[in-house]
Amino acid sequence: MAHQISLKIYYEDTDAAGIVYYGNFLRYLERARTEFLLDRGISIAELHYQGLFFPVIHVDIHYRKAVKLGETIDITTEIAEMKNASVVLKSHVLRHGTVLAEAHVTFACIGRDGKPRRLPEELRKLRQ
């Protein structure tokens, strides 16, 4: 099931033409991922303090339409794929239901030593 957040676009998000700088989409997707997990009772911060880390290892973004200063966008997030030590999230950036961008973000689970770890049980339960 998809989760949705809304974000307002501020001056700091844009370039000189008032269009969102493409790299800022990564921040928006990260925010959406964190809220997606929190909405399901999973705190990345708590897992971090337990010694589990979740680096993004791959991002694929297709930009379709510009996002501009002053607009409000919605970002939907859902699980596209889950393996033993990684998750692929599918996200859509929308304005009034129109797809502005779509992305697949893969994050892995690693321990303090940097080696892959099995996803914690609370994350694996999201597969169901």
Q: Specify the CATH number for the domain of residue 75.
A: 3.10.129.10
- The two structure tokens encoding residue 17: 């033409």
Which of 13, 15, 39, 60 is catalytic? The answer is 15
pLDDT per residue as tens digits for the range 60-71: 999 999 999 999
* Span 20-37, average pLDDT: 96
Give dist(CA 13, CA 27) in Å, integer. Answer: 10
Annotated catalytic, 74? no
Name the DSSP letter for residue 19. Answer: B
Q: What average pLDDT does the structure give for the chain?
A: 96
Q: Is the pLDDT assigned to residue 1 strictly greater than 80?
A: no
Q: Which domain holds residue 117?
A: 3-127
Domain count, the chain: 1
Can you list the positions of beta strands (E) in 1-128?
3-8, 56-63, 72-82, 86-95, 98-108
* pTM greater than 0.75 (yes/no): yes
Give dist(CA 119, CA 117) in Å, integer. Answer: 6
